[in-house]
Structure 1
Amino acid sequence: MKRSSRARIGATATVSVLSLALITGCGGGSDDDSKESGASSPSTTASTTAKALSAAELKKLLLAKGDLAGYEIDAADESLPKSKSEVKTDKAECTPLAHAMAGLAPGDTDASVSYTLTKSPTATASPDEASLENALNIEITFVGLSSYDGDGAEKAVKAVSDATAACTGGFTIKAQGETQKVTKVASVKASGKGDESVGFSVAADMDGEGTATINTEVVRVGNTVSSYYTINLASLDSGKATPVPTTVIDAQLAKLK
């Protein structure tokens, strides 16, 4: 078995920490993407009198079984942290990035929920290397929703944008008993969805088994913020990012409008 395959099997076994980017990484997207701003321009200003939705109200806005063909949806994924107290960084200015990657609110609010969507390949009967690669070709998207009073949602998106610029040299994440050094942060082109959006990428070495590349996108609709973080277990050590599926973003945003 190839060394890279062993690394991917290890990644499968430790998927619970993937939501925290504890084995993941770096500045994805093309060279052209990295030259563009990660944020789209705000098209709508949130009302200063807007009231945050409760966590219970946010749960009703999550995608549910049957909402998106080809995906399994888990609204009770235990791999996701339940509170910000479970996620620590060595640089306070980088904390919004860690929170967004963990499905937590990147801004100042207690109203947040998270869930995962999994897209698996068609199973094959062959036990060879190609079949193993196919079996690991599992795409997982971690989604977080958070809601804010007043202009809190706009401030949350700005916090992510500011953190991306401030943390280019990396930072350390501690969560779920694991510690991971993020070696690089870069801005990547966002989808332009919602009222405004921002994209960033982080990089970390997978214990000498290659560099994992992860892109995260944060999108605001009114006073609600959604975050999207996607991995593919078969390509974690390839150095290339798995794009956040626009189908997932579109389906989730349709619930928010």
Structure 2
Amino acid sequence: MKRSSGVRLCATAAVGALSFVLVTGCSGGDSGGDAKGSGTTAKALGAAELKKLIIAGGEVPGFKVGAVPATRSRAITSDSASCRPLARVMSGLPPADAAARTDRMATENQKKTPTAKPTSLDDVDEGTFEETMHKSLDRDITTVTLASYDGDGAEKPLASVSTAVKDCASGFPAQQAGTKLRFTKVAEEKATGTGDGSVAFTATMNSGDGDPAPARAEVVRLGNTLSVYFTTNLGAIMAKKAYTVSPEVVKAQQAKLK
């Protein structure tokens, strides 16, 4: 059965609407922020020290770890001050400026090679097309950011995320590269990481055709260092399948910090 032009257009629109969750992350993560710290004795780790502590290639089973591409540097912003920490986390940034930070991207290996190998999109029936697309895109992409603060300076940014999850439960407006976005709801989730404190949440955006587009994030504090995790999975979103912040990535990263 030939696919109609309507199905082709819907698929294109879905990928376009959901792709915003994959273009986040900050490639300039090895630079320092402008936080001044709390003045207590604990000093923030420098960017060079953080680079040694962040996950590297071969350290996360089932994932390829590399630099965050420059093409993913379009940060999500929000005019809502109370919800801004969530927008920053979903941009691969710490919830507040840090003394130093660094980042990496962990991309899950493709779970299963799609069986259909059409020579033309018009030769694929609707069901096969959707199944092939879902399988090819069904893998977690997680941005990992380490941010270090002076003294107890990491506690307030973590608390701001926890507060924002509650205050922004009914959603909030945002922008990315000049495009207006609307997150329709925010919900707290069970955190995967262990440390001195953690917050996990799901922020859902309407994809434009009525289907929800959820993005997952988690922030974990260990001493004066925050680990920020932001995970998307386009295949799972399109197939309306549940997914979480990649537990393998969180486990590997938190283990390096201990």
Provide the TM-score with structure 1 as the length reference.
0.78
Distance 2:87 2:19 in 1: 21
Distance 1:187 1:15 in 2: 18
Distance 2:17 2:25 in 1: 12
Partner of 1:10: 16
Alpha carbons 2:218, 2:228 under 8 Å: kept: yes
Secondary structure in 2 aligned to 1:152?
A: coil
Matches within 5 A, 1:1-257: 1=3, 2=7, 5-10=11-16, 16-19=22-25, 48-81=40-73, 86-119=75-108, 120-127=110-117, 128-129=128-129, 130-191=131-192, 193-208=194-209, 210-238=211-239, 241-257=242-258
Partner of 1:37: none
Deviation at 1:105, TM superposition (A): 1.4
Deviation at 1:7, TM superposition (A): 4.6
Secondary structure in 2 aligned to 1:141?
A: strand
CA pair 132-243 structure 1, distance change in 2 beyond 3 A:
same
Structure 1 stretches lacking a partner, 5+ long: 21-45
Alpha carbons 1:114, 1:145 under 8 Å: kept: yes
Secondary structure in 2 aligned to 1:60?
A: helix
Distance 1:77 1:152 in 2: 29
Report sequence identity in percent.
40
The list of structure 1 runs, each at least 4 consecutive aligned residues, that deviate by more than 6 angstroms after superposition, is none
CA pair 18-102 structure 1, distance change in 2 beyond 3 A:
closer
Alpha carbons 2:133, 2:235 under 8 Å: kept: no
Q: Larger Rg: 1 or 2?
A: 2
Deviation at 1:8, TM superposition (A): 4.9
Paired letter, 2:95: P
Q: After the TM superposition, which of the residue ranges 194-203 and 3-12 deviates more from structure 2?
A: 3-12
Distance 1:79 1:145 in 2: 20
Deviations 1:34-53 (A, max 9, x none): xxxxxxxxxxxx99421111
Deviations 1:159-183 (A, max 9, x none): 1111112212221222333321111
Alpha carbons 1:8, 1:233 under 8 Å: kept: no
Paired letter, 1:195: D
CA pair 72-11 structure 1, distance change in 2 beyond 3 A:
farther
Structure 2 stretches lacking a partner, 5+ long: 27-37, 118-127
Distance 1:93 1:12 in 2: 24
CA pair 14-204 structure 1, distance change in 2 beyond 3 A:
closer
Distance 2:145 2:252 in 1: 14
Paired letter, 1:114: D
Distance 1:8 1:136 in 2: 13
Deviation at 1:96, TM superposition (A): 0.9
Aligned pairs, how many? 229
Deviations 1:99-150 (A, max 9, x none): 1111111124241222211112232342343333211212211211111011
CA pair 16-124 structure 1, distance change in 2 beyond 3 A:
closer
CA pair 81-152 structure 1, distance change in 2 beyond 3 A:
farther
Question: What is the alpha-carbon root mean square deviation over aligned residues?
Answer: 2.7
Distance 2:238 2:25 in 1: 16
Distance 1:162 1:49 in 2: 27
Partner of 1:25: none
Alpha carbons 1:107, 1:156 under 8 Å: kept: yes
